[in-house]
Chains A and B, each alone.
Chain A
Amino acid sequence: MNLFLLLLVELQEATLLVWRAVRHPFRRPLYWRETVVQMDTIGFGTLPIVLLAGFFIGAVLALQTAGTLRSFGAQNYTGRLVATSLLRELGPVLTCILLAGRSGSGIAAELGAMCVSEQIDAMRALGTDPFRKLVRPRLIALMTMAPILTIFANVIGIVGGLVVAITFLQIPSSVYLASAREALNYDDLWGMFLKTGVFGLIVAIVGCRCGLRTRGGTVGVGQSTTTSVVVSIVLILVSDFFLTRLILTLSGTA
């Protein structure tokens, strides 16, 4: 089979995976417990690293751009620049890359280990649909947690920029914050939700698919984990370009 065919097969498998996970949405059991547990591990578990990364990204953004802005005499727009960059690009992309590294890989490893130790087969033999019990909770958790975590990253990033503005750039906090608030608009906001929703979906699908196709023992689990991270990050970056184009067109700024 050539590469193109393989790609097509994977696309089909991924589509099937989502379909099997979302169909019969109200048939019992609903697996609420599993969903809440996943939301907790994915959302709350990733929060510290997202806050840490978000703070320093905002800070370094302010530090890097202030010099250039000063040469145009536009130093007071630092807040706006930091807020817009975070809201539109850095917040969604970096948060979801962190999610891919931390949660997507975890999902691939967990499902992969279950696959090679026949736990998935055992689950099916005991009359449980693994797509509904394992895939759906992770899908829901990632699609809801990605936007929420991004909001946290954006807020803490703006705070990071503020700290730098006050301590290194001698920009008054009122000026920074007023200019940051100017950056907020609805187009950027729904754009962010669209992006993070799609990115969350990508991380979930890639993580689950890589986990469930694991073959070949512990070595296979390692490979699945690596593949899931690489593929999610690449897909996030590529889809980000097209989503940005779409959002700009729809909001009339392009």
Chain B
Amino acid sequence: MGEYAIEFQDVHLSFGTQKVLDGISFGVYPGETKIVMGGSGTGKSTVLKLVLGLLKPDSGRIFVDNEDITDFSESQLTVMRQKIGMVFQEGALFDSLSVYENVGYRLFERGADEEEIEETVRRMLRFVNLEDAINKMPAELSGGMRRRVGIARALVGNPKIILYDEPTAGLDPPTARTICELAIKLRDLEGVSSLFVTHRIQDALTLADHHATIGDNGEVVIVKNPRGQTETATTFLMLRHGKVLLEGDADTFWNSTDPYIRTFLELD
């Protein structure tokens, strides 16, 4: 352990006879976004659930914010989870609650007063550009809107770590792009550490080739990085057969000679 925000040390996990993770080790630095790629069923989502403590590894250690969470009890995990925001695959919004109640869920549970909740929820919804939807029910929202509400919900409480579980899966390219830009803003302006699970190479391109800055008029602008200069805050982790196939920065990834990664990049 050391300066990592999230660290996995030789983590093994199997469901019954099926090995899902077979000795995974990696680390995410504070302020870094690590894109986790791999085919379906390679244990990408499992990694995120392990970080949250929703699953326990069979062996190996997991550190979050320099704390060994591997043997944490459920109540210790509950405290630890306040540092983490999770964006689920389909948003995983609570169907019975309105957008307002969904986003403010953490605050409602804590028993915060109504004014504070309203203020926070509006600020978070403004961040994902959905303030108009505040009184809608999840069923009335489109797929892309649900993910954005999911992101807003994850941001309440200003977590230092955000986990994305295929936030762009099944979305049209412009909407997927919007989601990625939100992740870029969080990475560059809020300094959160992230694991970004995806199997879409377009997401990786967007995240690695752009950065967010504050423009002349105080507005947030997403700028394409100059040619040949990739954002160092974005690194890659490629999983295959429950093992780490490659870990490194964007250049290492693009220039990899591994045939599996090259098919993934659609280079061959």
Contact = CB atoms under 8 A, between A and B. Distances in A.
Verify that A and B bind, or say they do not: yes
Interface residues of A, number: 16
A127 B111 contact: no
Contact of A126 (B49, B81, B90, B95): B81
Given A28-B111, A29-B111, A127 B88 contact: no
B92 A122 contact: yes
Interface string B55-99: 000000000000000000010001001101010111011110000
Nearest to B85: A125
Contact of B109 (A122, A125, A126): A126
Interface stretch (A61-69, A113-121, A160-168): A113-121
B78 A129 contact: yes
Nearest to A131: B74
Interface string A22-66: 000000110000000000000000000000000000000000000
Nearest to B105: A126
Given A29-B109, A121-B49, A127 B78 contact: yes
B153 interface: yes
Interface in B91-133: 92-95, 105-106, 109, 111
B109 A128 contact: yes
A125 B54 contact: yes
B11 interface: no
A117 B89 CA distance: 9
B191 to A, nearest CB: 21
B88 A118 contact: yes
B94 A119 contact: yes
A119 B97 CA distance: 12
Contacts of A125: 52, 54, 81, 84, 86
Contacts of B95: 113-114, 117, 119
Contacts of A114: 94-95
Contacts of B90: 117-118
B110 to A, nearest CB: 8
A113 B82 CA distance: 25
A124 interface: yes
B111 A124 contact: no
A102 to B, nearest CB: 19
Contacts of A127: 78, 81-82, 106, 109
Interface size class of B (residues with CB under 8 A): 20 to 34
Interface in A100-118: 113-114, 117-118
Given A127-B106, A127-B109, A129-B74, A122 B82 contact: no
Interface in B175-191: none
Given A28-B111, A29-B109, A122 B88 contact: yes
B32 to A, nearest CB: 21
Nearest to B165: A118
Contacts of A118: 88-90, 92
Nearest to B86: A125
A126 B82 CA distance: 7
A29 B112 CA distance: 12
A119 B82 CA distance: 17
From A119, A126, A127, residue with most partner B Cβ within 10 Å? A126
A211 to B, nearest CB: 14
B90 to A, nearest CB: 6
Contacts of B153: 126
Contacts of A128: 105, 109
A122 B91 CA distance: 9
A123 B97 CA distance: 12
Contacts of A123: 94
Contacts of B109: 29, 126-128
B183 to A, nearest CB: 18
A118 B95 CA distance: 11
A119 B111 CA distance: 21
Given A29-B109, A126-B109, A121 B54 contact: yes
11 contacts: A28-B111, A121-B52, A121-B54, A121-B92, A122-B88, A123-B94, A125-B52, A126-B153, A127-B81, A127-B109, A128-B109
Sorted nearest first, the 8 A-B pairs with minimum C-beta distance are: A122-B92, A118-B92, A125-B86, A118-B88, A127-B78, A127-B81, A119-B92, A125-B52
Interface of A: 28-29, 113-114, 117-119, 121-129
Given A29-B111, A129-B74, 20 more contacts: A28-B111, A29-B109, A114-B94, A114-B95, A118-B89, A118-B90, A118-B92, A119-B93, A122-B88, A122-B92, A122-B93, A122-B94, A124-B54, A125-B52, A125-B54, A126-B81, A126-B109, A126-B153, A127-B78, A128-B109
